[in-house]
Structure 1
C-alpha cells in the first residue's frame, strides 16, 4: 500500500482464507491490523492494557443516553447506563454486560457504543461490569465477579433507578460471553455450587435471567487447534490458537481448571444447561471459536433451550469491535437489539 512500504507486516492474512473473508474486513486488516505486533510473542506486560494503537475507530460514536454513572460494588466496579425518559410501571429491564479481552485486558471503556445503543434502542438499563483481570486476578476471580454482579443487579440496589428484576438479560463478548454463560448457569440453578468458585456464591436470585445474548463466545477452554478449532486454526486472522493459549495461560493457574464447567460451560451437567434462558448467539464464520459456538447452540437446542444463532458470513473475531466499518457487524448488533426488544417487550 502506498506510504506503508516501510512498515513491518506482523499479521498477514493467510492466502487460503482471504477470498472467504468479508471484503470490508480485508480492507481494514490490510490497512491497519496487519501492522500490529502479536501479543503472544512477548512476555506479559500489564502496560498492554493502556497501549494505544494508531488505528482509526472501528466502532461507532455512542448515542446519547439519559445518564452514565460508575459505582463500586464489592471488589469490582460497574458502569450504569440509564435510558432517556421514564420507565413504565414495571420498572426498567436490565442488561448485564461483560466485555471481552481474554480475561486479561479491557474494562469499562470497552463497548461503550454498544452499551449506549442497547440502552436507548432496547429501552433498558445496561450494567457494564469491570471484573477482575488476570494474571493479577486468575480464575475463578472473574467468574465470582460476574456472578456477584448479577446478584447485585437482582437485589434492586439503590444505585439503580426503578428496575424490573423479572426482566434481566445477561450478555458478553468473547471471554466476557464465557462469563455471561457461567453467570446465567448460576442464576438459573438455585443452590447449585460452582466447581471452583466460593461456596458463598450459591445463587439466591428470585427471578432467573430471561435471556442470554452472546457475541463470538468462548465456550470450551479445552478446545485445541488439533480438535475443535481445526476448521479455522491455521487461517483465522487476529485471534489465533497461539494468542488464545497465551491468554488462557494468564487466566488459568492450573490446567485442570480448564475442564471445570465454570471455565468450559459446555461441559456443565445437562440438568443445569437445560435451565438456561432463551439464548441468542452471534458466530463469526472465520473465527477459531466458530465451531465451539455453533456446537454449543446445537447442544442447548437438544436440551430444549430456545436458541437463535446468527452466523456472520466472512466474519472474524474482530466483528463486534469493527461494527463501525463492517456492515455485517453493524447488522449483527441491530439483530441483537431486536432480540432484546422482543425479550423485554420494548420494541
Structure 2
C-alpha cells in the first residue's frame, strides 16, 4: 500500500496526499506533487464575490503571465460596477506548486469585502527560479496601474497586496523592492513603469528570513531544503539568504513598510517567522497587527468554516482591518 502524509489536508480534500519523501531525494519530486494538487477542484466560492475572468492575460510571449480576476457581486451574482480599491493576491506553495485557482476562496473573501482582486499565476520553480516569481509580482502591480480605468480601480486608494506562505514572502519582498526605488531587478519591463503606491500588506503564514528558516527546529523537511532553497534559489542558495528580495525581514527599509497585518496559526511550523517579523516591524515603528489563530496549522485559512471552526472569525478580523 502506498504511503501517504497522514496530513489533516487529506480529510479536507478527500484524497490521500503523496508522501514528501521524494523531495528529500531530488528536485524532480516537485513535478509529482504539483501534478497532484492541480487535479483537485477548488473550494466552493464564498458568497458576495464573483469570478470576472479566470484566465486574464497580463503578458504574452516567452514568459506568459496569467491570473484570475474577482469583484464583489450583487444578490443576483452580477459584478458590481463600482470603482473600488485593488488587491493583488499571491498564492503559496513553496514557490514551486499551486496556482491562483487553488487559493480562489481566500482571494474571493477579500473581493467580497469591497476590492477588485487580481490573483496571479506567477512562474514557478525549479523551471523558473528566483527572481522570476518576484518579477511577475512587480509586473502585475504595473499592469494594474496601466489598466486601472478598464478594471474599475480607484487609484487614489493605492495598492493592497498580500498572500499566503511563499506568497507572503513575495508580498514583503515586492514591498521592499518598491520602497528601494526599484533598481535591483534587471528585467527591462520594470525600468520605466511606475506601480501603484503600496497602501497595506497582508501576510498569511509567511516565511520572511530564509536563512533562519533553514535552521529552525520546526522547518519542514523537504519543503524548505528542496523546494524553497534548491529549487527556488538554486544550488548557491546560502549566498542569497541575505538578499532582502529573498529574506525581506533583513531589508534595510522595513521602517518604511506600510500598515501590515500578519496572521498565522499557533500550530503552524512557520509561526516563529511571523513572530520575528512582527517584532522587527514593531521595533521599526511600523503599524503592524499580529493575529495568531488558536490551533491553526499551515494554510488553514484557505479552508471553509464547515471544514474548520473559527476560520470565519479569523477572516472577519482580517477583512475588518483591510477595510479600515
TM-score of the pair, normalised by structure 2 = 0.83
- In 1, the alpha carbon distance for the partners of 2:10 and 2:133 equals 35
- 1:271-297 deviation line (CA, Å, top 9, x unaligned): x11111100000122222111111101
TM-score of the pair, normalised by structure 1 = 0.78
- In 2, the alpha carbon distance for the partners of 1:215 and 1:79 equals 19
Show the counterpart of 2:269.
Answer: 288
In structure 2, the CA distance between the partners of 1:117 and 1:258, relative to structure 1 (3 Å rule), is same
In structure 2, the CA distance between the partners of 1:314 and 1:65, relative to structure 1 (3 Å rule), is closer
- 1:19-58 matches, within 5 Å, as 28=11, 36-38=18-20, 40-41=23-24, 43=26, 44-45=28-29, 46-51=31-36
Deviation at 1:99, TM superposition (A): 0.4
**Which structure has the larger Rg over C-alpha atoms?**
1
Between Structure 1 and Structure 2, how many residues are aligned? 307
| Structure of higher RCO (CA pairs closer than 8 Å, 6+ residues apart) | 1
- 1:16-165 matches, within 5 Å, as 28=11, 36-38=18-20, 40-41=23-24, 43=26, 44-45=28-29, 46-51=31-36, 59-63=43-47, 65-69=49-53, 70-74=55-59, 75-84=64-73, 86=80, 91-120=83-112, 122-157=113-148, 159-165=150-156
DSSP 3-state at the match of 1:261:
coil
In structure 2, the CA distance between the partners of 1:258 and 1:32, relative to structure 1 (3 Å rule), is farther
- In 2, the alpha carbon distance for the partners of 1:50 and 1:107 equals 11
- In 1, the alpha carbon distance for the partners of 2:110 and 2:283 equals 29
- In 2, the alpha carbon distance for the partners of 1:288 and 1:42 equals 22
Of 149, 158, 174 in structure 2, the residue corresponding to residue 183 of structure 1 is: 174
DSSP 3-state at the match of 2:208:
coil
- In 2, the alpha carbon distance for the partners of 1:243 and 1:76 equals 25
Deviation at 1:207, TM superposition (A): 4.7
In structure 2, the CA distance between the partners of 1:289 and 1:202, relative to structure 1 (3 Å rule), is farther
Report if the CA contact (8 A) 1:144-1:197 is conserved. no
Show the counterpart of 1:22.
Answer: none
DSSP 3-state at the match of 1:294:
helix
In structure 2, the CA distance between the partners of 1:66 and 1:311, relative to structure 1 (3 Å rule), is closer
- 1:99-145 deviation line (CA, Å, top 9, x unaligned): 0011111112121112222112x211001111111111110111111
Unaligned runs of 5+ in 1: 1-6, 14-24, 234-239, 343-347
Deviation at 1:250, TM superposition (A): 0.9
Report if the CA contact (8 A) 2:70-2:111 is conserved. yes
Does structure 1 residue 298 correspond to structure 2 residue 290? no
Report if the CA contact (8 A) 2:18-2:33 is conserved. no
- In 2, the alpha carbon distance for the partners of 1:60 and 1:187 equals 34
The structure carrying a bigger helix percent of its residues is: 2
Report if the CA contact (8 A) 1:225-1:241 is conserved. no
Report if the CA contact (8 A) 1:93-1:167 is conserved. yes
